[in-house]
Each structure stands twice: as C-alpha cells, then as structure tokens.
Structure 1
Amino acid sequence: MHRKIMVQGTGSSVGKSIIVAGLCRIFAQDGYRVSPFKSQNMALNSFVDIEGLEMGRAQVVQAESGMEIPRAFMNPILLKPNSDNNSQLIIEGKPVKNTSAQEYFSNCSYLKEVALRNYQKIEREFDIGVLEGGGSPAEINLREYDCVNMGMAELVDAPVILVGNIEIGGVFASLYGTIALLDEKDRKRIKGLIINKFRGDAELLKPGIDMLMARLKSEGLDIKFLGVIPYERLDIEEEDVLAKKINDYTKKEGEIKISVIRTDKMSNYTDFDALNQYPDVALNYVFHKEDLGEEDIIILPGSKNTISDIEKLKENGIFERVKELKNRGTVVVGICGGFQMLGEEIEDPHHIEGDQERVKGFGFLKIKTIMERVKYTQQVERVLESDLGNSVIRGCENLKVRGYEIHQGVTVGEDSNLVKEENFILTANESVFGTYIHGIFDNEEFTRRFLNNVRERKGLKPLEDKFSFAEFKEKEYNKLATLLRNNLDMASIYEIMNKGL
C-alpha cells in the first residue's frame, strides 16, 4: 500500500526542502522505498537525470537522501527565470517555451494533469511519497491555479504537515495565520505542525505551543504538534539559498584563494560545494572589481543568460580586471556559461537569449560558441586524454570524470583536450581551463590534482588528502535524519500517513 505525506511551509526558506530530505532518509533507513516529489519548482539550479532530463536540484538531494536515483518525474515542472516576468518552462525534463506568469497560470489545468500523472508513477513504484510544497499555501489569490501546495495535496489526497521558521520571528502568528487564511477543505488537510530552526531552551516555547494547539482544537481542527527542530549547521545543499552560502564561504581561511564571480543570472552554484570542503581552499563570491586581486583562481560560473552576464561584467569593470589578473598569472576557470565566456566570441543567431546576436568573449581560449535551438542535457562520463601538456590540469591524464551538461550552445575551435562529437566539453591551456561539465569538482582525484598544480605555482607542497564528496554527503544525510528522529514525533508522522484524511 502506498502512503504519502506533504510538507508545506508558512513561507519560503522555512526549511521544507531539508525536512523532506530528512524524512526521506528516515523512511529509507526504516526499510521503505521512498521518493520525494515537488510538482513545480522555480530555480536556476538544475540537474540532468539518467535519461538526460532536467530537474530541480532540491529533489536530487532529497532522492539521494532517500537512497534513490534522482529522476525527473520527482520534479515534473521546472521554471528557470530569465527575468522578473519571464521563465523558461521545462515539462517532464524537456524545455517547452519561455512563458510569462500570466500565461503560465492560464494553463493550470494542463499543469495539474502533468503533476498528477507523474505522481502516479511514484504511487506505482514506491512505498512512500514525501511531497514538498512551494512558498506558502496561503497565497489565496492563486489558490484556483495552484498545483504545488494545497492544489497538489488535493490531487493526490495527501495529509499535510505545516512548517514554521522561528528564526525569522513571529512563528506562532505565521502558523496560525496560514491555517486561518485557508478555506475549510484545505484547513482540514493539515494534520501536523513543526517549528524549525530554534536556538535556545525549547521549554520556553511550551506555553505558546500549548495555547496555539488549544486554540486550533477549539476550532474543531485535528492537528498534532510534531516537534521543535533545533538549529544545527548542516552541509546539505538547500534550495536557492545563495546568500547563505556567500556568508558562510567568506568566513573560511585557506592557502588557495578562489573567487567565484557572482553574475546576475548565475546558475548551478552547487558546482562549488565540493570544492569548498577542501581544507586548503578559501572560496569567496565577488560582486565588484575592487574585490579581485588576492586570489589564486577566478571562476566564471554557469549562467542562464551568458550574453547579458558577460555584457554586465564589461559594464562593471570585472571583465577587464579578470583579463589583467590572468595576464599576471591568476588561473581562470569557466564552467558552462563561464566556459563560453572564455572563448573569442558567442553568437546567438536564433535569439535564444535575447536580441543581441554576437558578443566578444575574454579570448583566453581559441573557441567560439553558437547558441542553438536544441538544449544539451545529459550525464557524462569521460576519460581525459593522455597528453595534457603543460596545462593547468596536467597530471589528470587518463582520469575518469563524471558530471552532467545543461547548455544551449555548441562550442567549436582549435583548443581542445576532450571532445564529444563536434562539441568540446573540456579544454585547457597553461593558466585556463573551461568545461561544460557541471559537478566537475565532485571528482576528487581531478580536483586534488588541479589544486596541487595551483599549489605548485605558489611554491607550496602538494597535498595527498583524499576527500570523497559522496561519502561526505552520506554523513550529512545521516546527521540530518538523527536530528529529526531526536526532535520529531515520528510515531505520529507514521500514524498520519497510515490514517490519511
């Protein structure tokens, strides 16, 4: 028998994604086959599954935590913002069109069909489904269009746990106010409450919890209080919390200093999560040209709109500053859109990214990129060629690297060390390397040899430490599960799933 539970929140950044990940790990530890599900996700961070289908990275984390292979049906609708009012719409892992918010909501009936048929796959193949909502269910102006919060719960008849974040204040008001704004049918779906990110003595909360639960009971609502989750530092990827990452990363010291250029349309900043775990690395994000100059490595990250981002770098002076530093010996790395920027030119004849058809790149590599209508999305596994010469990735000969590609452009030219059909996916010279491979730094042998090359440039001794990002993530998932088991009423959560509505 398939069972389900849905985690919704009083707002964004209350911890829904992490709680879903933790529940997935607990259910998997308890012997169940479990799948996460978020019908609609809006994020620039995405992943490519084993079929080459694109999905949000939050569900990748949740699937990994649940000991399952990430699949696009776990996130069938993905919106990747192009601007404040326009997003690329990806349905069941494939890009469909660019859409405005108004056009998107006008297709709500079709979107609900997409959400339902993909969840039905989970019903057939998994013991438990853990659904995640988006933002808040109390967006009452959008209820008739909703397919991610109560609209989704209604489609699959799921009971709901509501999460509030005490860290930002007003948790009792946000929990009660969210419930009060819902119509009666939706209100009755809520079967449990969780307070998240608490610092201090939880006993101080007890009178407020008792008063809240008494009020809800007096209103005829059958809701249980499931627990207070204390704040704990977890190195687990969260959904669209780049500001938090920036604050965390800037506090670290290390012998190898790395600056990631923060662009307006930066995507897949998770590419640097593994890199940041190396003990000799200090990773920082840079907004202004004045902040560049002390680093050993500059990274140009992925971008949802490469042309507009490189033009912005020219406007704010970072473009010329990076060229100056590269000429002084700083290593420059480009990933995906950043890789395209490293070349001589980017062409957009079909206006995939906008009206501008051509832009000059940094010219660090003898390549150029042409934006095509077809989007490349696939997992990759390649062995680096045997002759990397005096490049910045020398010593990586014959290493196997794994990752995934998500890009609109085809890159061609003279500089290549690794070629896939007509399209380069990794190339390097003595101080620059670029790649289309997201997750390149998750490959520990490659990363350590690359860092050792940079250490040699600085006159530092090489390090031989072996850091497995996969093992590190497993430890963090188990740490999260223990945190939830110790602070949530798991017996009541199982009871809620067993009883349903």
Structure 2
Amino acid sequence: MAKTIMIQGATSDAGKSALATGLCRLLARRGVRVAPFKPQNMALNSAVTVDGGEIGRSQAVQAQACGVEPHSDMNPVLLKPNSHTGSQVIIQGRAIGNMEARGYHGYKPVAMKAVLESHARLAEQYQCIIAEGAGSPAEINLRDGDIANMGFAEAVDCPVILVADIERGGVFAHLAGTLALLSESERARVIGLVINRFRGDPSLLKSGIDWLERHTGKPVLGVLPYLHDLHLEAEDSMDLDKLGGSTATGDKLRVIAPAAPRVSNHTDFDPLRLHPQVEFTLVRAGQTIPPADLIVLPGSKSVLADLAWLRAQGWEETIRRHLRYGGKVLGICGGLQMLGRKLHDPDGLEGEPGSGNGLGLLDMETTLAKEKRLTRMRGRLSFGNAEATGYEIHMGVSTGPALQRPVLHFNDGGVDGARSEDDQILATYLHGVFDEPAACQAILCWAGLQKPVTLDYPALRETNIDKLADMLEQFLDLGPIINDLPIGIRI
C-alpha cells in the first residue's frame, strides 16, 4: 500500500497546491510512483481525465508533475459553485446534481465513502500519494463530518505537513493557532511545519522559528522563498483577484475579457497573459471597458446569469460597437453559448428554468441538457493549418446554421464551433485552445497580431513545475517525507 502524506494549510491560499505539485515532481524524479489526491475541491477550474471524468484543474497539473495521466480518483469530490450557497456536486468525475450547502452537509457521509474508495484504488497502484487539503483544518464550523482535511487524514491515518504563507503576515500566529484548535490526535499527526513565500534573509526568522518549535513541539521543515515569475495554473475563480494583466508596453495585441461572477476555466487565459506580444486585461465589475483588438468571452458555470451581468456592465453595447469597427470576438464554451440567439434551460440546471436571449451574433441556439459532455480532443483549426488540443466540459447542446462553419476539425472526424461569415467572430467549446503553440499563434494572427512569436505554453508549464521541485530540493527537509517510503530511498 502507498504511503500517503497530506499537505494542509493554516489558511486558504497558503501554498498547499504549489507544495504538493513540487513534491509530486521531486518524488517522480527519484523514481517513485507517485500520485496526487485531493479529497474535496471547490473550484470552477476543472479538467477532463483519462477515464472521462472531471476533476479540479490543480490535480490535473499535479498529475502532470507526477508524469501520469489525470484520473477521476485523484479528486473524488469536486464542488462547482453556481450560487452563493449552492454548488454542482461531482462525485468520482460525474455530476450528480446541485446541492445547497446545508443539503451537502447531510450528504457528506456518502461523499466520504467515495473519497475512501478512490484513495484505496490509488493506494494499490502507487508507492506514494501526495494529498492536498482544502482551506484550513481549523475551521470550527466545518469540523463536523469533515472530509477535506483532518477528517480524511484521521480516516486513512496519514501524516500531515502544515504550511502557512508569511506574505499574509502573522505566520507564527497562523501556525500556532491552527495547531491549538486541532484535537490531540490531529495535532499528533502533524509531522512538521513549512513557512512559504519568504522574501529576504532567512536568518532573521531564526528567533521566531526557535520559539515556534518550542511552543508547538513541531519542527519547521523549511522556509520556502518567494519565487518570482512562477506560473502555476490557478485552482479556482477566487484567484481572479490576483490575475493582473500583462504590461502595456510596445506594439501589442490588446485582448480583454470580462471577469463575470461565475467565470469558469479562466486558465484558458494563461497563454495570453504570458505572451510577450499580448496586452491582456481582465475587466472587473464597475471598471471601464477599455478598447481592444480582441474580446474573449470565457466559460461560465451559470451562462444566463453571467450574460445578465455582462449586459448590466455594458458589455453587449461594447461588443457590438467593437465589431462595427472591425474588432474580433472569441467565445469559449459558455462564451460560445452567449453569442447565439437563444439559451434554454428547461430543467433549471444552472438556475431557474426558462429561456433567455443571447447576444444574437451567431445563428444558433443552445439547450442545456442533464448529461455533461466530458472529453479530451485533438484536431486542427479550420484556418492556419494549426494543431489544437484541449477538453470539453459543458452541458449545452448547440444547434443552428452557424455551426456549419466550424472552427475545429477533430481527428475523430467531428467538428466544433462556429466562425462568422465576416470572419470577425470565432466560437468554440474547446478549453485550452490557446495551449498549443501553433494554435495560439494562428488565433493571434487572426485577431490582428503581425508576425506573432511562438509561446510554448506546455514547455513553460513544465519549466515552472521543475522550478518548484528544485526549490524544495534546496530548502525543504525531505527526510520525514521520503525516509518512510516503501522503496528504500532515504535522505
């Protein structure tokens, strides 16, 4: 059976995902068969697995760090918020319906059974499992029936590493306070502490670390430096607040996108934000919509609600004026659906049952269906002769004449998307359409960029995962993690 090590955070965004990703790559480099695991994830950024399921995007990246295909067992419970109090619940890769928070609390014993089943299957296949918690284990109101943090750790009897972010301030209080709020058995399974994102001279922390180790009885396994220019795909839409635009210098293609309340898979933007010839701006509520060469309408977990938000923010008028002056528009997934004439949700899958008018810019309609399409695809763009890969995650079925001019021709013979007759609008269901260098280059050229350079986004992602692993090799005491692995590797 695999050894499981769990990374928990003193707060949200403490660095759990980064630490887990780096450990996955570090162990894989040493020949360990390692897999990622997150019992419960709440995120609107997701990925399609090799077995046709859906998991959080961060676990798909961690699987890449391990050198294995992502599988639905790596994130057996995924919650995709569709309101302030409710979420779509996905169990072992499959959506089972929507639940309000109180209803899900009662469902947790069933969810825990799925978590333990998935973990057991992974434990039979791998030598080590790097598990990641969610939020903080010290949320008192969430302790009853917990499956995301210590509830899981206790159930599988695994050691825990607790990480805190010094950038937030109060790092010693976060670590000491979290340990103080745990039960005696939970504290006992914490094998060490990690201080993350430190800038400056680590020797200045010595007195604080000495106090922390005396006060808690737990060793500090490492002080991890702040890594400048590190790119790791964001876990959820909360990370939109940290996504800045690229610097507006030189002759760049201006690309803007709305930060709608239920935007999903905003990782689609990452190759644009990182491209040296693109000035990318994410426009939030209340902000003036700037002029642009390309407007990207992203995916959405609640298309009709997000479309109403766009209209209230003035986007419909802006898009029409943008097109009149020769600008380009790209819709991805929910953005594709918004560009059509009508959207129908007869079963109330994303809100109240009913229909609504789309932007009417493409001659097609979309009806939401209970069966979600989850598939990984490979093909070529209908222009530029460029290879494209990605994945589809949607409940909508779109029909209409606009689809007779597809954007993509897939290797299995299928087609996807719509391309307007005046060639100003592209729409596709394919998430990750910018990831392949040739596809990104072709779309930017279509949008008006002269002589676009090649950005190899997959290679950049690999480089950043390696950067994390290199940092852990240098600054983390790996003994407590590696020495007990059932494979004879020791520090």
Residue 485 of structure 1 aligns to which amino acid in structure 2?
E
> Per-residue CA shift, 1:306-337, capped at 9, x if unaligned?
00111121222221111111111110110000
Paired position in structure 2 for 1:287: 284
1:11-49 deviation line (CA, Å, top 9, x unaligned): 101000110000000000111111010010001111111
Q: Is the 8 A contact 2:179 2:216 kept in 1?
A: no
The Cα of 1:142 is off from its aligned counterpart by 2.4
| Distance (Å, rounded) in 2 between the aligned partners of 1:252 and 1:167 | 27
Deviation (angstroms), 1:447: 1.5
1:442 equivalent to 2:432? Answer: no
How far the C-alpha of 1:111 sits from its partner, in A, is 1.6
Q: 1:145 to 1:290 in 2, by over 3 A?
A: closer
Alpha-carbon deviations, 1:268-296, whole Å to 9, x = none?
00001122222211111013586334210
| Deviates further, 431-440 or 233-242 | 233-242
- Work out whether residues 196 and 229 of structure 1, in 8 Å CA contact, stay in contact via their aligned partners in 2: yes
Other-structure match for 1:14:
14
Q: What does 1:127-146 align with in structure 2 at a 5 Å threshold?
A: 127-146=127-146
Aligned to 1:317: 314
Tell me what 1:426 maps to. 417
Secondary structure at the aligned position of 1:440 is classed as coil
Counterpart residue identity of residue 486, structure 1 = Q
Bigger Cα displacement from structure 2, 280-289 vs 310-319: 280-289
TM-score, length-scaled by structure 2 = 0.93
- 1:2, CA displacement in angstroms? 2.0
Choose from 227, 232, 236 the match for 1:236. 232
Q: Aligned with 1:51: secondary structure?
A: coil
Tell me the amino acid that sits aligned with residue 349 of structure 1: P
CA distance in 2, matches of 1:292, 1:328: 16
1:99 aligns with 2:95: no
Which stretch of structure 1 is more off in the superposition, 303-312 or 237-246? 237-246
Question: Does the residue aligned with 1:365 lie in a helix, a strand or coil?
Answer: coil
> Cα offset for 1:338?
0.4
In 2, the alpha carbon distance for the partners of 1:245 and 1:435 equals 26
Q: Distance in 2 between matches of 1:172 and 1:18?
A: 20
Residue 125 (str. 1) matches residue 113 (str. 2): no
CA distance in 2, matches of 1:452, 1:99: 43
Give the letter aligned to residue 427 of structure 2: G
Deviations 1:353-404 (A, max 9, x none): 222522111222111111112211111123345xxxxxxxx334xx432111
User: Which shifted more, 188-197 or 339-348?
Assistant: 339-348
Separation of aligned partners in 2, 1:407 and 1:423 = 16
Asked if the contact 1:5–1:160 (Cα under 8 Å) also holds between the matched residues in 2, the reply is: yes
Counterpart Cα distance in 2 of 1:367 and 1:235: 37
Take 2:57 and 2:155, find their aligned partners in 1: how far apart are those partners? 24
Q: Secondary structure at the match of 1:144?
A: coil
Secondary structure, in 3 states, of the residue corresponding to 1:83? coil
Helix, strand or coil for the counterpart of 1:395? coil
Partner Cα separation in structure 2 for residue 2 and residue 424 of structure 1: 42
Q: Distance in 2 between matches of 1:294 and 1:202?
A: 45
Aligned counterparts of 2:169 and 2:299: Cα–Cα separation in 1:
35
Q: Does 1:451 align with 2:457?
A: no
Q: Could you tell me how far apart the structure 1 residues matched to 2:226 and 2:287 are?
A: 35
Partner of 2:154: 154
| 1:468-479 matches, cutoff 5 A | 468-479=456-467
Is the 1:412–1:424 contact (alpha carbons within 8 Å) kept by the matching residues of 2? no
State the match for 1:492 in structure 2.
Answer: 480
Q: Which residue of 2 aligns with 1:200?
A: 200
Q: Which residue of structure 2 lines up, in the alignment, with residue 24 of structure 1?
A: 24
Q: Deviation of residue 51 (structure 1)?
A: 2.2
**What amino acid is the match of 1:352?**
L
Structure 1: distance between partners of 2:414 and 2:363: 14
In 2, the alpha carbon distance for the partners of 1:169 and 1:273 equals: 28
Residue pairs, 1:357-372, within 5 angstroms: 357-372=354-369
Amino acid aligned to 2:441: R
Matches within 5 A, 1:104-119: 104-119=104-119
**Aligned pair in 2 of structure 1 residues 288, 195: CA closer, same or farther (>3 Å)?**
closer
Query: Counterparts of 1:340 and 1:423 in 2: how far apart (Å)?
Result: 19
Greater shift after overlay, 6-15 or 316-325? 316-325
Other-structure match for 1:346: 343
Which residue number in structure 1 is paired with residue 181 of structure 2? 181
Which 5+ residue runs of structure 2 have no aligned equivalent?
A: none
Are 2:127 and 2:485, in contact at CA under 8 Å, matched by a contact in 1?
no
Give the aligned residue type for 1:113.
K
Letter in 2 for 1:358: S
SS of the equivalent of 2:52 reads coil
How well do the aligned residues superpose, as a CA RMSD in angstroms?
2.0
1:203-223 CA distance string (max 9 Å, x none): 111101101111223xxxxx3
Secondary structure of 1:264 counterpart: coil
CA deviation after TM superposition for structure 1 residue 192, in Å: 0.6
Q: Displacement, 1:244?
A: 4.8
Matched AA of 2:146: D
Gap regions ≥5 residues in structure 1: 218-222, 386-393
Q: Which 10-residue stretch deviates more, 411-420 or 144-153?
A: 411-420
Q: Which moved more, 1:173-182 or 1:234-243?
A: 234-243
TM-score (norm 1): 0.91
d(CA) in 2 for partners of 1:141 and 1:286? 34
- Please give the per-residue CA displacement for 1:177-218, whole angstroms capped at 9, x wherever unaligned: 11111111111010110000111111111101101111223x
Counterpart check, 1:462 vs 2:451: yes
| Alpha carbons 1:2, 1:126 under 8 Å: kept | yes
1:328 aligns with 2:319: no
CA distance in 2, matches of 1:308, 1:92: 27
Does the 8 Å CA contact 2:246/2:273 hold for their aligned counterparts? no
Residues 157 and 497 of structure 1: CA distance in aligned 2, closer, same or farther (over 3 Å): farther
Q: Distance in 1 between matches of 2:314 and 2:289?
A: 11
